[in-house]
Amino acid sequence: MTWHRLAALLLVAVEAGVTGYEFERPAFAALVLLLAAAGAPGWVRLRLRPRIRVLYALTLGAALALRWWLLPRPSVTGSVLDSGLGYGVAQYLLLLQASLLFLRAETSLPPYFPLLGAIVMVCTGDLIAEGVRRQLFLAGSVAFACLFAAFFATSQPRLRAPARKTRRLGARLSGFAVLLGTFGGTAGGSWLLGTYKDALNDAFNRLATGSGRALEVGFTTQGDLNSIQRIKTTNGDATALRVRARANPGYLRGKTYDRLARSRWSSTISPAITVPLSAPPTPYQGTTMRVFPVSPGTGGVGENAGVTTLVDTSGVLFTGLGSRFVAAGMSRLRVGVDQTVRSPDSTTPSYYELTLAAAASMPRPPPPLDPEYRQALLSVPPLLDPGVLDLAARLFADKRTTAAKISAVVRYFRDNYRYHLGLRVPRGKDPLTYFLLERPPAHCEYFASGAALLLRLGGVPCRYVSGFVAVDRNLVGDYWNVRNKDAHAWVEAFDEKRGWVTVEATVAEGVPSPSEEERASVLSHLWDYVKEAVRRVRAALDPRALLRALGRWVGVAGAVGAFRALILAAGVLVIGRLLLLWMRRRPGRRIRRSRRPPPQVERLQRLRQRADRRLRAAGFTRGPGETLHQFAARLELAAREDPDLARAARLHHAAGWYVSYALARYGSRAAQKEFAARHADAAPIGVR
């Protein structure tokens, strides 16, 4: 096994180890390693035609694509592809690399061999992971970079010509410098960028997404009954959030309201400034993001969900009901008694994580509400229409528990109402009273407001909530796409036995749900994934966005997205340098340089070397850049200045010999043969 093939084997070993660890697939990693170990020594070499090789690559890709489509696939949070697709690509390229060790009969493997490995590392990278997991991945990345350089450094045979010893030493020193620089740059860059990744992650996402206008979904201190209707009907297919979570994140709360007046909601809550935890919980130990408490709980914590905001939300951080913690790259957050979260300066963070409470960690029974807050959640507008009071009395006539009252309200709306996006209220009528008494088709804001009012009349503390409902899962990207059309309003009621519960009073056709086309069409998911990638590239190439991002990058370094971008940029520079060195030393050129000259030229070269030795002994040495004619002119000048006539004659003869040699050496073959034959038996010229 050559050093070149050994470097290739170690490259595959590092890639397989990282892939098996990140995706928790040790069996596949072991299989790839065994295949590579069997093919690396070169004992088995399958000589296949180029067409057969292409057919094999296509067949392998089709087989893995079919398996990826039919069987469950893992997902790595933070992978550059953000999906199980990353594992599929890494799996395919690893098997392709192992196959190349069998299919290639040449000593040097193709130069794209390590480039396939670079794609594997990018697809596998879990850059959001912290602690030991992140350190292991960075160690694997450094090892891969060093082996990458070693692969190209050992891709060519050594120079054997004695005259190239200095050149060979320079090549070795250059290769060692590249290897050392790669190791130091990768290790130092990984540490530096990993240390500050969260701050730059926010700036990078701002660059990728650009600036968006504020959503009209009630993310202000007041909300009317048509704000969600406006956002649903205006650019409804635009993506507002992207949520990475294994399970459906469901209802994402943005804003809650506790005061209803003239069919308009407002909030009396003043969120308090919250500082991060000094001792983050287990999922966040070692992270550079700051962790903030959101809601009380006991025991363990649940699953993490990463949220990427693609529009300006006026500083609102969307969370689920019962979210225990929020992690963001900010020094402070505002958290209200209603468990809503927003930034102090209304700046929208581009990425943050939230942790849901585990089922067993929710306190039972829940702690009682603050008396003042409970009173606010039971307040109703003055001078209500008697028909509304009578409706509430009839609904709760025989209901004694909170759960029974909630069920009665939900059943009432679903049995007597239909959904319609938009409601025309007659002039002079109160919109909410008209909705409750006349039962016209309406949208979610009316259903949620009516349910909240009826529950309060029944003695159930509740609040009006606006936000999004995540229902559209992209099967290609393996993420939840939250669009403007998924904006929604609902109610959260407090049950003394169960705590806070979500009340969905809107009829089924009004609750956000994926369409049949979106649910069944993989092409639509792929198209959405491609459009999102194109949108990010276009936003990243926007000079204005670049200038804004550069302004935010001052003093910070690293990111989930920018980390990969910078590492790949450094990798491109290293790869370009290595490819340049390889092109200068590629086999074709090496063969031409080391090709044996014709026999007559060899005889001429031996004659010249003999003449050079004689003249060197007499003190006349031809310089490295001195041509034969220049050397002959120097000998002629020395002959003219030498007082010793005999010595001057020999120098004159030597000068003429070099001129004749130059004419023969670079002349025709006949001239070369004639010169070699005439001087074959002649005594070597010299100066005594």
> Could you report how far apart the first and last alpha carbons of the chain are, in Å?
55
Range of weakest confidence among 60-74, 160-174, 319-333: 160-174
Range of weakest confidence among 20-24, 307-311, 407-411: 20-24
Of the two residues 457 and 561, the one the predictor is more confident about is 457
For the segment 146-169, the average pLDDT, to the nearest whole number, is 60
CA 535 distance to own-chain centroid: 15
- What's the pLDDT at 603? 83
* Portion of the chain with pLDDT greater than 90, in percent: 16
- What's the pLDDT at 494? 94
H or E segment at 264? strand 264-266
- What's the pLDDT at 458? 93
CA 76 – CA 443 distance, rounded (Å)? 38
CB burial of 651-666 (b: ≥16 within 10 Å; e: otherwise) equals: bbebbebbbbbbebbe
Q: Give the number of other CB atoms < 10 A from CB of residue 113.
A: 22
**pLDDT surpassing 70 at residue 298:** no
Structure confidence at residue 434 as a pLDDT band (50, 70, 90): very high
Range ranked top by mean pLDDT from 43-57, 108-122, 212-226, 517-531: 108-122
Q: Do 178 and 573 contact (CB within 8 A), yes or no?
A: no
For the segment 679-684, the average pLDDT, to the nearest whole number, is 60
For the segment 96-122, the average pLDDT, to the nearest whole number, is 77
- For residue 365, whether the previous peptide bond is cis, meaning omega lies within 30 degrees of 0, is yes
For the segment 257-286, the average pLDDT, to the nearest whole number, is 82
Would you list the DSSP string of 503-547? E--S-GGGS----HHHHH-HHHHHHHHHHHHHHHHHHHT-HHHHH
DSSP SS3 for 314: coil
- What's the pLDDT at 574? 63
User: What backbone torsions phi and psi does residue 49 show, to the nearest 5 degrees?
Assistant: -70, 155
Residue 135, token pair as written in the block = 């350190």
For the segment 22-37, the average pLDDT, to the nearest whole number, is 82
H or E segment at 290? strand 290-293
**pLDDT surpassing 70 at residue 636:** yes
Of the two residues 687 and 62, the one the predictor is more confident about is 62
Residue 34's nearest CA partner among 85, 87, 102 is: 102
Structure confidence at residue 89 as a pLDDT band (50, 70, 90): confident
List strand residue ranges (DSSP E) for 395-459, in order.
none
For the segment 34-63, the average pLDDT, to the nearest whole number, is 78
Range of weakest confidence among 6-10, 16-20, 364-368: 364-368
pLDDT tens-digit series, residues 580-620: 666 655 554 444 444 677 887 888 888 888 888 888 888 88
Range ranked top by mean pLDDT from 56-65, 255-264, 351-360: 255-264
- What's the pLDDT at 160? 43
For 30-54, the three-class secondary structure string (H helix, E strand, C coil) is HHHHHHHHHHCCCCCCCCCCHHHHH
Q: Do 545 and 539 contact (CB within 8 A), yes or no?
A: yes
- What's the pLDDT at 321? 87
Of the two residues 650 and 152, the one the predictor is more confident about is 650
Structure confidence at residue 444 as a pLDDT band (50, 70, 90): very high
CA 64 – CA 593 distance, rounded (Å)? 45
For 362-380, the three-class secondary structure string (H helix, E strand, C coil) is CCCCCCCCCHHHHHHHHCC
CA 102 – CA 128 distance, rounded (Å)? 36
DSSP SS3 for 111: coil
For the segment 389-404, the average pLDDT, to the nearest whole number, is 93
- What's the pLDDT at 206? 45
Structure confidence at residue 506 as a pLDDT band (50, 70, 90): very high
Angle ∠(268,271,274) on CA atoms, nearest 5: 170
pLDDT tens-digit series, residues 54-75: 888 888 888 877 766 655 444 4
**pLDDT surpassing 90 at residue 491:** yes
**pLDDT surpassing 80 at residue 405:** yes
**pLDDT surpassing 50 at residue 77:** no
Q: Considering only CA atoms, give the Rg of the chain.
A: 38
Structure confidence at residue 84 as a pLDDT band (50, 70, 90): low
CA 300 – CA 593 distance, rounded (Å)? 70
Q: Do 402 and 496 contact (CB within 8 A), yes or no?
A: yes
Q: Do 505 and 451 contact (CB within 8 A), yes or no?
A: yes
- What's the pLDDT at 415? 94
Angle between helix axes 386-395 and 444-457 (nearest 10 degrees) is: 70
Structure confidence at residue 208 as a pLDDT band (50, 70, 90): very low
For the segment 117-144, the average pLDDT, to the nearest whole number, is 70
Structure confidence at residue 452 as a pLDDT band (50, 70, 90): very high
Structure confidence at residue 387 as a pLDDT band (50, 70, 90): very high
For the segment 494-509, the average pLDDT, to the nearest whole number, is 91
Q: Give the number of other CB atoms < 10 A from CB of residue 119.
A: 16
CA 504 – CA 90 distance, rounded (Å)? 43
Range of weakest confidence among 101-105, 309-313, 548-552, 681-685: 548-552
Range of weakest confidence among 266-270, 348-352, 366-370, 552-556: 552-556
For the segment 474-493, the average pLDDT, to the nearest whole number, is 87
The average confidence (pLDDT) of the chain is 76
**pLDDT surpassing 90 at residue 455:** yes
Residue spans of alpha helices (H) in 234-362: none
- What's the pLDDT at 542? 52
**pLDDT surpassing 80 at residue 198:** no
CA 687 – CA 653 distance, rounded (Å)? 10
For the segment 543-563, the average pLDDT, to the nearest whole number, is 44
